[in-house]
Amino acid sequence: MTDRKPLETLVRRNPWPQGVSYPVATPLQPSVVYASESPDALDAQYGGQTHGYTYAREGHPNADVLARRIDLLEGAEGGLILGSGMAAVTAVLLGLLGAGDHVVAGDQLYGRSLRLMTQDLSRFGIGTALFDSTDASTLEAVLRPETRMVMVEVVSNPTLRVADMEGIAALCKARGILLVVDNTFATPRGYRPFDHGADIVIHSVTKLLAGHSDATLGYVAVRDPALRKPVYDFAVTTGMTPSPFDCWLAERGIMSFNLRYDRAEQNARALADALAGQPGLARVIYPTRPDHPDHNRAIGLLGERGGNMLSFEVKGGRAAANALVRAMPDVAFAPTLGDIGTTLSHPNSSSHRNVPQADREKVGISEGFFRISVGVEEVELLIRDFTAGIAAAHAAADAAAEGAA
């Protein structure tokens, strides 16, 4: 009998050793289940008289620790962490809308959000319409009596147009329509939607907030506490659970968010100014530059906070685009944003590859169009790399023109 004891102690759960000191770094808690002291204790927990975790799909400490930090940034309370930015978008739309409702969204939303709007919601009986978010009068034109929600991004991807947030918020308020802002691009450092009339704020935490391209997560916060439960229940029921490890990584990342953002923004502004006017370049797009189409609105909404995103267009077709990317191998050519290092993307071969050409042309996305997510490296390096890339594109465009002549 005595030889059974060691086996039992190997398998049975032992209490975590407690001490009088506490860990400085947030512990990573992967436990899926949490044990309670008695049925009475569990009742009190489910009844909300005491606080405790039960099952990780319903919530876990690493998600809560992360949520409180983003709440702080957004001026929010009770924000939820979900498994991805798209989980956050989906939980808001399907958790709050039902058959017969109508939702309107900006026509330059993130690609998958746009897909949800144009291809998926109709299968659930939810009507949709798009509007030009730079002009609130185009919103008014598509509103219906059953419109319950408007969803916008403050700065659009990848053309960096700035939404008419004041006009949109005023219209939503007057009609009693929920205003949902996906604040991934602008970040709370650039714009805090709750200070400007938003009812719901969404983030892809994957991007700048986590900041290291190693965690996929989303965030939702609501202003009216009554809206929290339907969003939470939909997310938990459909299994949009965030991984504790991802939350732990993102929390570590978010501690340096303000520092990273300020440095990346400073770099982006300097890089935009250094690239503007270089031979071979058709245009540079940066919200706070005087040549930006929404310059005055950008200054009004964002102050001097132009953000870390910068787009540009080189002359010449695909050959010039290929030459540019090949001439700057040290910058990751990858369709994402918000990494601590600079990444470069080409919408025509990635995010916008399935957008009809006429629609791409309408918003100015050509073969020579690139988007930079500027990181925190030394700006001299960035200016050197992009100057080399643009020169290579220029040479390739010239060669192609000569070949055609």
Ligand X SMILES: *Cc1c(COP(=O)(O)O)cnc(C)c1O
What's the closest the beta carbon of residue 325 comes to ligand X, in angstroms?
21
Clarify whether 57 is annotated catalytic. Answer: yes
Q: Does 308 bind ligand X (CB under 6 A)?
A: no
Closest approach, Cβ 65 to ligand X, in A, equals 19
Our CB check for ligand X shows the closer of 110 and 286 to be 110
The pattern of x and - marking residues 146 through 165 that bind ligand X according to CB under 6 A reads: -------x------------
- By residue count, the chain amounts to 405
- Residues 59, 188, 218, 287: which binds ligand X (CB under 6 A)? 218
Binding span for ligand X by CB under 6 A among 51-59, 79-87, 234-242, 315-323: 79-87
Give whole-number Cα distances, 28 to 3, 60, 216, 319, 323, in Å.
34, 10, 16, 48, 44
What residues pair up with 105 in beta bridges, in sequence order? 130, 151
Binding flag, residue 204, ligand X (CB under 6 A): yes
Contact between 85 and ligand X per CB under 6 A: yes
Q: Is 343 in the site for ligand X (CB under 6 A)?
A: no
- For the chain, state the CA radius of gyration: 24
Catalytic, 214? Answer no
Cβ-based nearer residue to ligand X, 45 or 350: 350
Closest approach, Cβ 321 to ligand X, in A, equals: 22
Catalytic residue among 34, 53, 57, 132: 57
CA angle 312, 259, 185 (to 5 degrees): 40
Q: In whole angstroms, what is the distance from residue 87 CA to residue 129 CA?
A: 21
Which residue type occupies 261?
Y
Write down the least CB distance from residue 269 to ligand X, Å.
Answer: 21
Q: Which of 148, 207, 297, 305 is catalytic?
A: 207
Residue 353 falls in the annotated catalytic set: no
Residue nearer to ligand X on the CB measure, 80 or 323: 80
Q: In sequence order, what are the beta bridge partners of 222?
A: 200
Cα 103 to the center of its chain, rounded Å: 20
Catalytic residue among 107, 182, 246, 385: 182
398 is catalytic: no
By CB under 6 A, residue 311 contacts ligand X = no
The DSSP string of 70-125 is HHHHHT-SS-EEESSHHHHHHHHHHHH--TT-EEEEETT--HHHHHIIIIIGGGGT
Least separation in angstroms between CB 114 and ligand X: 10
Cα distance between residue 244 and residue 33, in whole Å: 13
The answer to whether 63 and 28 are in contact (CB under 8 A) is no
162-201: contacts with ligand X (CB under 6 A)? 182, 184-185
Is the separation of the CB atoms in 368 and 313 below 8 Å? Answer: yes
Q: Which residue has the tokens 């044990």?
A: 35
The per-residue DSSP string of 224-273 comes to SGGGHHHHHHHHHHTT-PPPHHHHHHHHHHHTTHHHHHHHHHHHHHHHHH
Query: Min. distance of Cβ 97 from ligand X in angstroms?
Result: 18
Map the footprint of ligand X across residues 91-130, applying CB under 6 A: 110, 113
Nearest distance from residue 233's CB to ligand X, in Å? 20
DSSP character for 127?
E
When the beta carbons of 305 and 315 are compared against ligand X, the nearer one is 305
Nearer to ligand X, 159 or 320 (CB): 159
* Residue ranges binding ligand X (CB under 6 A): 84-86, 110, 113, 153, 182, 184-185, 204, 206-207, 216, 218
Residues annotated as catalytic are 57, 110, 182, 207
